[in-house]
């Protein structure tokens, strides 16, 4: 066995994940040319612009302290401990940054790169340590036409490593229901997944086999319908626990289709 480890030099792209040291993680949403980026009065252009709405929910006050401390350390040329609850006091750092001509809150006036006008709001601005996480969009690109299926449920496998399908989850299903596209729901949840043809007796509502109902001992009213294989598996597991789901089918011309099903407790006289 030979193990080969290879490295790639990649540049950040849309969808790549980044994080500060305080758990403020997120993906890159847009890459802007440097001439269109805002810049400070000293001519410093930021490498990254973060949405401030992550602070109220995550409450990462240590990140605010780190930015203020690193700004002070860069101007003073000394090491500043910005450890939350244990480092230097914020008031001391603020007074020191004021001596270098900056706002004591760490905010700066930024100038719009496209218009050249000053922005109407103060921007919390300074150096901060960010790290690029291993979740890159190049490694997560995934699509599937046809592929392997699970042995038990006969549904497409899960996961990119196993050539799995792209899951249409509960929330995506709710969106499709809201749009009223029932044919698309039927296609995604059954036809493209685990459609299975079964034979149903119109008299007793139980599944038959090979055109014959073993419960009614007849082959007069056996119809073919399409249901998900996982649904058929569920019905058979319910039958093994003495709960009998019965189909109620109605004729639709030459073919029949399932309309509804009911469940009954198994009678002692029922024979399968």
pLDDT band, very low/low/confident/very high, at 271 (cuts 50, 70, 90): very low
- As given in the structure block, the two tokens for residue 244 are 């009998």
Q: Binning pLDDT at 50, 70 and 90, where does residue 253 land? A: low
CA pair distance 244, 234, nearest whole angstrom = 11
Please check whether residues 93 and 175 belong to one and the same domain.
no
Q: Is residue 257 in some structural domain?
A: yes
Selected residue with higher pLDDT from 114 and 263: 114
Q: Could you give the number of structural domains in the chain? A: 3
H or E element at residue 208 = strand 207-208
What's the rounded Cα separation, in Å, for the pair 233 and 62?
53
The CA distances from residue 87 to 79, 144, 151, in Å, are: 11, 52, 57
Mean pLDDT taken over the chain: 88
63 inside domain: yes
Average pLDDT of span 103-130: 93
167 and 222 assigned to the same domain: no
In a domain, 245, yes or no: yes
In a domain, 68, yes or no: yes
- Give the pLDDT score at 257: 45
Q: From CA 237, how far away is CA 207, in angstroms rounded?
A: 13
Task: List the domain range (segments joined by +) for residue 114.
Answer: 17-132
| In a domain? residue 79 | yes
- Whole-angstrom distance, CA of residue 109 vs CA of residue 120: 8
């Amino acid at each position: 066995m030979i193990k080969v480890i290879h490295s790639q030099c990649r540049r950040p792209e849309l969808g790549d994940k980044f994080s500060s040291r305080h758990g403020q993680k997120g993906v890159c949403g847009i890459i802007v040319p440097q001439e269109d980026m805002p810049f400070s009065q000293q001519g410093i252009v930021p490498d990254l612009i973060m949405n401030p709405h992550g602070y109220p929910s995550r409450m990462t006050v240590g990140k605010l302290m780190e930015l203020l401390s690193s700004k002070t350390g860069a101007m003073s040329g000394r090491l500043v401990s910005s450890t939350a609850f244990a480092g230097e006091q914020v008031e001391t750092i603020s007074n020191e940054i004021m001596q270098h001509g900056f706002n004591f809150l760490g905010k700066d006036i930024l100038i719009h790169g496209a218009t050249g006008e000053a922005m109407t709001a103060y921007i919390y601005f300074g150096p901060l340590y960010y790290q690029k996480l291993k979740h890159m969009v190049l490694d997560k690109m995934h699509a599937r036409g046809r592929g392997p299926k699970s042995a038990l449920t006969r549904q497409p496998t899960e996961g990119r490593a196993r050539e799995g399908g792209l899951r249409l989850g509960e929330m995506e299903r709710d969106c499709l229901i809201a749009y009223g596209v029932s044919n698309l729901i039927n296609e995604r949840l059954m036809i493209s997944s685990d459609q299975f043809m079964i034979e149903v007796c119109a008299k007793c509502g139980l599944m038959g086999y090979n055109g014959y109902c073993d419960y009614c001992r007849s082959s007069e009213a056996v119809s073919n319908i399409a249901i998900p294989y996982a649904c058929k598996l569920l019905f058979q597991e319910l039958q093994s626990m003495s709960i009998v789901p019965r189909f109620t089918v109605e004729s639709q011309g030459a073919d029949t289709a399932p309309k509804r099903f009911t469940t009954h407790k198994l009678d002692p006289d029922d024979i399968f």
